[in-house]
Amino acid sequence: MTKFHQFDAVIVGAGGAGLMAALHASKGCNTAVISKLYPTRSHTGAAQGGIAAALNNMGDGDSWEFHMFDTVKGGDYLADQDSAEILAKDAIDAIIELEHMGLPFDRTPDGRIDQRRFGGHTANFGERLVMRSCKAADRTGHMILQTLYQQCIKQKVRFFDEFFMVDLLMNGNTCVGCVAIEIATGEVHVFHSKALMIASGGFGKIFKVTSNAVSLTGDPVAAVYRRGLPLEDMEFFQFHPTGIYKLGILLSEAARGEGSVLINGKGERFMEQYAPSVKDLAPRDLISRSIMSEIRAGRGIDGKDYVYMDFRPETINKFKSGPGGKEVTREHLEKSLPEIIEFVRVYMGIDPMEHPVPIQPTAHYAMGGIPTDNEARVLDANEKVIPGLYSAGECACVSVHGANRLGTNSLVDLVVFGRRGGKEMVEYAKKTDFTALPKNSEAQVVAELESLRNRVRKDPKDGERVSTLRTAMQDTMQLNVSVYRTAESMAKAVADLAELKARYANVKIDDSGKIFNTDLLEAFELGCMLDLAECVARTALARQESRGGHAREDFPNRDDKKWLKHSLIWRNDGASNASLVPHGKYQFGERPVRLGRFEPKERKY
């Protein structure tokens, strides 16, 4: 039996964005949070390095204008500048709010929030590196997630933990809620809302080597797409330069903020060639490309497909690459980077204080996603607000990150736009009545799930395995829609995805039960990922230029004349329902970039 709930505001996702929105929404209206994970399991907790705000606590002359400029330049001028301005300005007061909530930030000698360097963050419009990243050792995201959850408990926010959103409900052009499955029982729940926010995080699991969690499959984003609404800038997916070789587990840029350097097979600090001024603290897109170029030129370690990140104190001191060129000690590094040092010890079995660490670029962050305005309201293909629908966090595209996000700018995006969205939802709920739910609104997705549930494998060889298809998808995305792309490689990915979508029709599962049926939900997640992977590959193939995280060998230059614009993609098969979008049934659109005080310039570091 379907259970019905009615809330003014429903927030899907309990990461940094969802919780910040929930805190502010629940101050003014009846609010519920739905999350497929217990809130504290959200991947915001994996964020390490820090959160950017021009507090200028280090007295190095920082200001929000510099932060805004770095964000725009880092995004290769694709960021909307009014949004970037809001990000940089609001950041300051949002970080202070987090401190007041009890976040245990590291402190300066005079007791204020301590800050460190991060890639692409500079003073005086690119002149020199600046210390802008506020941090709690290298578990900043963990502390943000914990602190926000604590405050939600204090405020008695209503949580539906381990509820899995499977569909978005629309009445005409208005969003009226969502459908979710209670994982523990398999029961169907319909949430009727005035304002629904999608804050479901990234979808890095479409790639093979990724820093993203197993749960980051983007199902709510796919639900939006399946309902015929557009996704924006999907071609821009960030590869973080320093993932642990093969595993993809992230080693934060904070390591390079503390002075670590990248070393090729010849023992050279190769970033000196690619970014003479900021070197190892160049933005991520540039460093990932540099690493791939070194590997292709045969200068990986032993000619293989990885390089070293060296964070031994003696190396840092040899290159004088520590903050301000100062000497660093092992004790200092152990204290500022305890988590990532432990990751290397546990997963690589080596001690990074004694040995350099094998690293390779790892799929990390979706710059694109659900298009929104500055109040987190979702926009349609004509830039009109879709009443009742909001989005914030990694799954949203405001766009503040443009074509490449700077490190520490996601966490601040979560709290700044999560907060704005939460407040806006209250305003909207106050002045709006509930729009009716369509009849049997949950029927479509329930039918979809039941058809999957009934496809039970009769013998080990029967039907397609979710894991086999998922691996094939991740492999083709990793190989063909990677740091460097060509028309040929992306067309290959598109063709592979077409084949995988066809094979998906024959997926079989083992578990037909109701209770905690993750076999079924993983099959559903795979369908969602196939849709999103197709959006990424398609929009990447369409964009004939190189910009930020989208680097094409066949179009190596940025082309502002033709491509200084956001891309949109939406479903176009005449239908709008909960099922997999038939391959190829999509349409492209575009949206102008809102420029402003910073004219697009060539991007040099």
Partner 1 sequence: MKLHLKIKRFNPEKDKAPWWGEYDVDVEPTDRVLDAIHYVKYYQDGTLNLRRSCAHGVCGSDAMRINGKNALACKLLVQDLGTDHITIEPLLGMRVIKDLVVDMEPFFDHYRSIMPFLVNDEPLPANGRERLQTQEQVDRISEGTKCILCAACTGSCPAFWANGKYVGPSAIVQAHRFIFDTRDRASAQRLGILNERMGVWRCRTAFNCTNVCPKDIPITRQIAEVKNAILSGVIA
Ligand X SMILES: Cc1cc2nc3c(=O)[nH]c(=O)nc-3n(C[C@H](O)[C@H](O)[C@H](O)COP(=O)(O)OP(=O)(O)OC[C@H]3O[C@@H](n4cnc5c(N)ncnc54)[C@H](O)[C@@H]3O)c2cc1C
| Residues β-bridged to residue 601 | none
Instruction: Judge whether 309 and 429 are in contact, CB under 8 Å.
Output: no
| Shortest reach from residue 136's CB to ligand X, in Å | 11
**In the complex with partner 1, which residue's Cβ is closer, 93 or 427?**
93
Interaction partner, residue 214 (ligand X, partner 1, none; CB < 5-8 Å by kind) = partner 1
User: Crossing angle, helix 518-542 and helix 487-504, to 10 degrees?
Assistant: 150
User: Going by C-beta distance under 8 Å and a sequence separation of 6 or more, which residues neighbour residue 45?
Assistant: 141, 142, 145, 146
Please provide the distance, in angstroms rounded to a whole number, between the alpha carbons at the two ends of the chain: 59
Backbone angles phi, psi at 383, to 5 degrees: 60, 25
| Residues β-bridged to residue 35 | 161
| Shortest reach from residue 258's CB to partner 1, in Å | 16
246, containing H or E segment: none
**In the complex with ligand X, which residue's Cβ is closer, 77 or 203?**
203
Among residues 4, 65, 7, the alpha carbon closest in space to that of 33 is found at 7
| Shortest reach from residue 252's CB to ligand X, in Å | 6
| Residues β-bridged to residue 408 | none
User: Crossing angle, helix 409-431 and helix 16-25, to 10 degrees?
Assistant: 30
**In the complex with ligand X, which residue's Cβ is closer, 53 or 541?**
53
Of 154, 296, 330, 384, the residue at the interface with partner 1 (CB under 8 A) is 154
Stretch 90-109 residues interacting with ligand X (CB under 6 A)? none
478 binds ligand X (CB under 6 A): no
Of 46, 221, 223, 359, the residue at the interface with partner 1 (CB under 8 A) is 46
| Shortest reach from residue 232's CB to partner 1, in Å | 26
Stretch 4-33 residues interacting with ligand X (CB under 6 A)? 12-18
Q: Binding marks (x or -) toward partner 1, 567..596, rule CB under 8 A?
A: ------------------------------
3-state secondary structure 307-362: EEEECCHHHHHHHCCCHHHCCCCHHHHHHHCHHHHHHHHHHHCCCCCCCCEEEEEE
399: preceding bond cis by omega (within 30 degrees):
yes
| Shortest reach from residue 314's CB to ligand X, in Å | 26
| Shortest reach from residue 508's CB to partner 1, in Å | 9
Instruction: Judge whether 307 and 300 are in contact, CB under 8 Å.
Output: yes
**In the complex with ligand X, which residue's Cβ is closer, 162 or 373?**
162
> HSE of 559 in the Cβ direction (CA atoms, 13 Å)?
13
Of 12, 137, 282, 376, the residue at the interface with partner 1 (CB under 8 A) is 137
User: Going by C-beta distance under 8 Å and a sequence separation of 6 or more, which residues neighbour residue 236?
Assistant: 78, 366, 367, 368, 401, 402, 403, 404, 547, 548, 549, 550
Of 59, 302, 303, 346, the residue at the interface with partner 1 (CB under 8 A) is 346
Structure tokens at 364: 């990390």
Of 3, 27, 107, 304, the residue at the interface with partner 1 (CB under 8 A) is 107
Could you say which of 117, 226, 256, 284 is catalytic?
284
Q: Is 284 a catalytic residue?
A: yes
Furthest-apart CA atoms within the chain: distance in Å: 70
CA-CA distance, 398 to 556, in Å (whole number)? 26
Interaction partner, residue 40 (partner 1, ligand X, none; CB < 5-8 Å by kind) = partner 1
Residue recorded with tokens 């927030």: 11
| Shortest reach from residue 590's CB to ligand X, in Å | 25
**In the complex with ligand X, which residue's Cβ is closer, 179 or 307?**
179
Interaction partner, residue 219 (partner 1, ligand X, none; CB < 5-8 Å by kind) = ligand X
Of 26, 31, 42, 238, the residue at the interface with partner 1 (CB under 8 A) is 42
214 binds partner 1 (CB under 8 A): yes
User: Going by C-beta distance under 8 Å and a sequence separation of 6 or more, which residues neighbour residue 435?
Assistant: 171, 174, 176, 194, 387, 388
Interaction partner, residue 442 (partner 1, ligand X, none; CB < 5-8 Å by kind) = none
**In the complex with ligand X, which residue's Cβ is closer, 114 or 394?**
394
Which residues are known catalytic residues? 284
Residues within the interface to ligand X (CB under 6 A): 12-18, 34-37, 39, 42-44, 46-51, 140-141, 164-165, 199-202, 211-212, 219-220, 250, 252, 365, 393-395, 407-411, 414
Residues within the interface to partner 1 (CB under 8 A): 37-38, 40-43, 45-46, 93, 96, 99-102, 104-107, 109-114, 136-137, 139, 142-143, 146-147, 150-151, 153-154, 184, 213-215, 247, 249, 339, 343, 346-347, 349, 457, 465-467, 509-511, 513-516, 518-519
